Amino acid sequence: MTKENVQGAGEDEQQAQSKKALKKQQKEAEKAAKKAEKQAKLAAEQQEADEDDFAKDRYGISPMVQSQQKLDRALVRVQDLTPEKAEQQIWVRARIHTSRAKGKQCFLVLRHQQFTVQALLAVGDRASKQMVKFAANLTKESIIDVEAVVKKVEQKIESCSQQDVELHVERIFVISQSEARLPLQLEDAVRPEGEGDEEGRATVNQDTRLDNRVIDLRTTTSQAIFRLQSGVCQLFRDTLINKGFVEIQTPKIISAASEGGANVFTVSYFKTSAYLAQSPQLYKQMCICADFDKVFCVGPVFRAEDSNTHRHLTEFVGLDIEMAFNYHYHEVIDSITDTMVQIFKGLRDRFQTEIQTVNKQYPSEPFKFLEPTLRLEYKEAVAMLKAAGVEMGDEEDLSTPNEKLLGRLVKEKYDTDFYVLDKYPLAVRPFYTMPDPNNTKYSNSYDMFMRGEEILSGAQRVHDAQLLTERAMHHGIDLEKIKAYIDSFRYGAPPHAGGGIGLERVTMLYLGLHNVRQTSMFPRDPKRLTP
């Protein structure tokens, strides 16, 4: 190619370049112009906004509460917002359950624990447009302080718990803001399973709930379940204290596995290792030998069973009882069943709201029981099962499906969800169970069932050191490991019996729920260690 051509081409290129550059410049100019326009507009709007916002000091995000000042302000609970407070101006602290803007109005539903109330913010002489916009944009679950006037409503607000009143908001401040994206929606978490499938709306599955337990525990159902569980614990304590029992605390780090070495957690203990207690059994009995006569203890129990079922946890709260008796271990059974009946009665009489709340999401039959508690013998149970077509041996242990079937048969005949099965075969019970004096194949042991599932396993304990040694050898247990246990019976031990229940399981079965993780706040199972 000749120079001229190159030059020509270069010139063309230059010309093309300049054309391109021109176009580019033009575009940039347009962009800049548009931007300037927008900014001008925003500035104008801002000015407008600032101009019109007469309510600027009646809303906003409060600075973080670092205990800067002591405000002498009484906050009313949502629970207490009733028609009696009509026309009063009060402050309320609650969470934003939902917020919905409609033109010049904003409807908020405020929630505190199980109680919700509707709040209304309308553009008027007290609230500006910006204030309503601010309220509508608040994220769900944020904690806010609201000053409002309580107003009576003619038509009941069905969707709230406080149905007769509504709040007309004057001031609204954010105390703690929540992130915009919640890992789960509370309405979804409270929706019953069937309803979710039918209407195509979401329900939250268990793993998501357990991973985000803090939010899941805020739902009305969870609040009701755990308040009821607290009631169970309290009724247990109160009833036993009234019967003259003493509450004891037993150690959880122990040197020897009590019920066989398979299901214990090992912890490193300085230069050796120790175990986490599977049950307070040994220590309860030692207290009886130490003349405390009637003891109970409430504490964690650790079972390293790799069973991923609906009713097993690796750590749960055990409510254990041990009692010395005069002549017959039925005295202890009567005491334990009476305690359980008092707990059921207390729940029936004082926790109906909680039971109804749980039933809304998890419908179930109310819990029925007899007073005094029904007591059947193991032989009768086997006969009932055989009559119903089950094939089993006379000394066989009851399998889980058989237990459930037996529960149904007992329910059909006696209409009770709670009963005791007495005189289990000796072969299926631990080595410290006292054998039946009249029939060596059976033992003085019993199980209690709720809704066909076992909640308590108990027995008269062997209180004689020699018999205990024989039974331990019969079961092939290393005597060295349980030497301390056997020693406690060598210096005079009263005849005694007892048993223990699991708090979570009892709550689950009382409410008719189907998974023990629903009644354990932060459950532990072979697959879950957090939260």
Partner 1 sequence: MPMYKVKPVSPGDIKIDLPACMYKSPNIHAQGMNCGDHALQNGGVDPALERLEGRQDEVLRRLYELKAAVDGITKTVTSPDADLDVSTGSRLPAESVFRGTADLDSLLGKDLGALRDVVINASPGRPPLSLLVLHALLCQRYQVLSSVHVHSSVSAVPPSLLSCLGPRHTDSYARQRFQLGFTLIWKDVSELQMKFNTQSMCPIEGEANVARFLFRLLGAGPQDPVAATQMDCWIDTAVFQLAEGGSKERAAVLRSLNAALGRSPWLLGQEFSLADIVCACCVLRAGQASSAPVNVQRWLKSCQNLGHFDCVYPLLQ
Catalytically annotated residue among 111, 209, 505, 517? 505
Catalytically annotated residue among 112, 191, 209, 303? 303
Burial 337-368 (b: 16+ CB within 10 A, else e): bebbbbbbebbeeebeebbebbbebbeeeebe
311 in catalytic set: yes
454 in catalytic set: yes
Report CA Rg, the chain: 34
The kind and range of the H/E element at 359 are: helix 352-361
* 120 forms part of the interface with partner 1 (CB under 8 A): no
* 384 forms part of the interface with partner 1 (CB under 8 A): yes
73 in catalytic set: no
Cβ atoms of 146 and 94 closer than 8 Å: yes
Task: State in angstroms the smallest separation of the CB of 493 from partner 1.
Answer: 23
* 404 forms part of the interface with partner 1 (CB under 8 A): no
**Beta strands 105-112; 89-102: pairing state:** antiparallel
* 368 forms part of the interface with partner 1 (CB under 8 A): yes
Catalytically annotated residue among 178, 453, 457, 528? 457
* 478 forms part of the interface with partner 1 (CB under 8 A): no
Length of the chain: 531
3-state secondary structure of 13: helix
Which of residues 169 and 497 has its CB atom nearest to partner 1 in the complex?
497
Cβ atoms of 434 and 461 closer than 8 Å: yes
Stretch touching partner 1 by CB under 8 A, among 203-211, 411-419, 496-504, 513-521: 411-419
* 476 forms part of the interface with partner 1 (CB under 8 A): no
**Total site size for partner 1, rule CB under 8 A:** 31
Which of residues 30 and 394 has its CB atom nearest to partner 1 in the complex?
394
* DSSP per position, 116-143: EEEEEEESSSS--HHHHHHHHTPPTT-E
331 in catalytic set: no
Please select the residue that binds partner 1; options are 59, 367, 424, 510, rule is CB under 8 A. Answer: 367
In single-letter form, the type of residue at position 203 comes to T
* 492 forms part of the interface with partner 1 (CB under 8 A): no
Query: Of 326, 246, 334, 258, nearest to 290 (Cα)?
Result: 246
* 390 forms part of the interface with partner 1 (CB under 8 A): no
The Cα-based distances of 295 to 289, 448, 491, 500 in angstroms read: 11, 19, 20, 12
Q: Is 489 left (phi over 0), alpha (psi -120 to 50) or beta?
A: alpha
303 in catalytic set: yes
* 345 forms part of the interface with partner 1 (CB under 8 A): yes
213 in catalytic set: no
* 485 forms part of the interface with partner 1 (CB under 8 A): no
* 383 forms part of the interface with partner 1 (CB under 8 A): yes
The arrangement of strands across the sheet holding 272-276 comes to: 253-254, 272-276, 266-269
Task: State in angstroms the smallest separation of the CB of 392 from partner 1.
Answer: 12
* 441 forms part of the interface with partner 1 (CB under 8 A): no
Task: State in angstroms the smallest separation of the CB of 386 from partner 1.
Answer: 6
The owner of tokens 């301390």 is: 484
Please select the residue that binds partner 1; options are 35, 201, 310, 413, rule is CB under 8 A. Answer: 413
Residues 6+ apart with CB under 8 A from 211: 183, 531
Please select the residue that binds partner 1; options are 312, 348, 404, 524, rule is CB under 8 A. Answer: 348
* 330 forms part of the interface with partner 1 (CB under 8 A): yes
Please select the residue that binds partner 1; options are 104, 152, 328, 483, rule is CB under 8 A. Answer: 328
305 in catalytic set: yes
The owner of tokens 């944020």 is: 142
At CA 351, angle to CA 347 and CA 355, rounded to 5?
95
The owner of tokens 């927008």 is: 38
Binding residues vs partner 1 (CB under 8 A): 328, 330, 344-345, 348-349, 367-372, 374-377, 379-384, 386-388, 409, 412-416
Active site residues: 303, 305, 311-312, 454, 457, 505
